[in-house]
Structure formats: C-alpha cells, structure tokens
Amino acid sequence: MTVTAGALEEIAANCCFDGWQRRYRHYSATLRCEMVFAVYLPPQAELGTVPALYWLSGLTCSDENFVHKGGAQRLAAELGVAIIAPDTSPRGAQVPGDPEGAWDFGHGAGFYLNATQQPWAENYRMHDYVVWELPALLEELLPIDARRGISGHSMGGHGALICALRNPGRYRSLSAFAPISHALDSPWGQKAFAAYLGEDRASWKEWDACELIARGGERLPLLVDQGAADGFLVAQLQPEKLRQACAAAGHPLRLRVHPGYDHSYYFIASFIDDHLRHHALALLAP
C-alpha cells in the first residue's frame, strides 16, 4: 500500500496471519512531537476498508507491548478487524518526562487526558490525539473506516472508558482489562490528575469513569475483565466502584473477575478473544 509521502513513515512491517503488522512514525500537531504507533491490518484490508479496534496500553508500556504479547492478531485476521495501538504518552527530548523516581508519571504515563497545567499542557493531550487526530490520519491514509471500537488495560482501560464516555457516538463498542475505574480515588489517578490538571478536584471529574457514567448519555455495553490475584486490585483499580456506578445509572456492564489471574499480559492473552468478539458484534453489524 502506498501512503501519502511525509504523513506516515513506515518503520516496521511483518506479515502475520496473512495480514500485516506495521509500525509507523508521524508528527503529531496535537502533541507537538513525533509519535510512533502500531497497526495490524487483517487480510480483508487488501480488498477494502475494515473497522478498527483502538487498544490503549497501561503504565510504562509503549505501542509494542500489546502487539508482542496480547495475541490478538490471529482472531483479528479471522474477523477482519484492524487493531491500532498508539503509544501511552508523548515522548522525546523536547517533551517533559519522568521526574526522578516517578515511573508512574511522565513518559509512558499520559493517562489519556488533556493536561491543563504547565509544563505538561503543551504536549500531554493524549485524549485529543487518540480520539481525534490519530483516527482522522488513519482513516485518510490506510484502509480503515469510521467503525471504531476502543479497549485497553489498566491506565489504558481508564483511557478507553473516558474516551468513549466523553464522546457519545464516536465509538461503536467498548471494553477494558483491569481498568483504573475510579481515578479520583486511586493513588495513581490522584498523582497524575494533580500534576496534569491542577488541585481543583472538580475538574478531575471530567476524566473519571464512574463520574462520567453517573452523568448518563450513551450506554455502550461494557465488558470488563479483572484478575482476582491482581496486586493493584483494591487500592488502584476498584472494579466494585465501577459496578456500583453502572448499576446506579443503568449502564450495561458485564464484569468478570477471574480467580488466579494477575495484572500481566498472560491475563490479557487469556481473554483477548472474548473482547475481540465483543467488539466485532458491534463493528461488523450491518
């Protein structure tokens, strides 16, 4: 496939289940830096456009973690669904990065929000990048159309929830693995929100899944998988608060808690097929 010169720079391409796992670099006007992302194009993309599942990864990850460890390509090829994996944060020498010792903040920890505080506000606008800029680019230049689903893991699960909940009609389907369900009450979320958004906790509610569910709007059926042996379950992830918010608001939720499973990609790979089929029901519907 030929791509518009200068818009996307292909940096890797691997044939996979008769489709192509590709990696691209481009300049993001939203984030004001170069970004790298991965795309799996199923074999059906050789004949026409296909729908896309956007996958948002978690803290410390890049676009490559899910591509290498998630095991999603085989069924995506069968279903005819593209998978798009953006990076988790803006990166580069010109972008404010990790404060000393802060693995859960900065590069790799963008939280898929639009920062309002300095020095983060200029670059840390991952919400607008994921929801608007990246899809517009790919739907113009690749055989991907506007049938969109979104999913993710941990911080990326939080990102999937807020991207869909803040933008009714933008996505056809939604799911998450071990999401940070109530970031307002999570140490990870509180740390990121205070730095990126400032100390006014009222502004944080715009980026909290439970708060957004309570406000109503679109009610996309939500599939969430959680490992019962996840070390972050109680303090950081709090799926019961998501269950309570959905029950109070009448939001359709299928929350599955799996004994023995932790927070790792072994957990994700074990249940990714269920999520792909969940999305395909909506993405491939007439």
User: What secondary structure letter does DSSP report for 78?
Assistant: H
Instruction: List the beta bridge partners of residue 253.
Output: 222
* The residue type at 165: L
Catalytic one of 28, 154, 175, 186: 154
Catalytic one of 107, 127, 263, 279: 263
Matching residue, tokens 């918010």: 245
How far is CA 182 from its chain centroid?
Answer: 16
Number of other CB atoms surrounding residue 286 within 10 Å: 2
Structure token digits, residue 9: 């720079």
- Strand order across the beta sheet in which 173-177 lies: 9-16, 19-28, 33-41, 82-86, 50-56, 144-152, 173-177, 222-227, 253-258
* The residue type at 36: V
Per DSSP, helices labelled H in 167-219 are 187-197, 201-204, 209-214
Catalytic one of 230, 251, 275, 278: 230
Told to judge if 154 belongs to the known catalytic residues of this protein, a careful annotator would answer yes
Q: How far apart are CA 192 and CA 205, in angstroms?
A: 13
Positions annotated as catalytic residues are 154, 230, 263
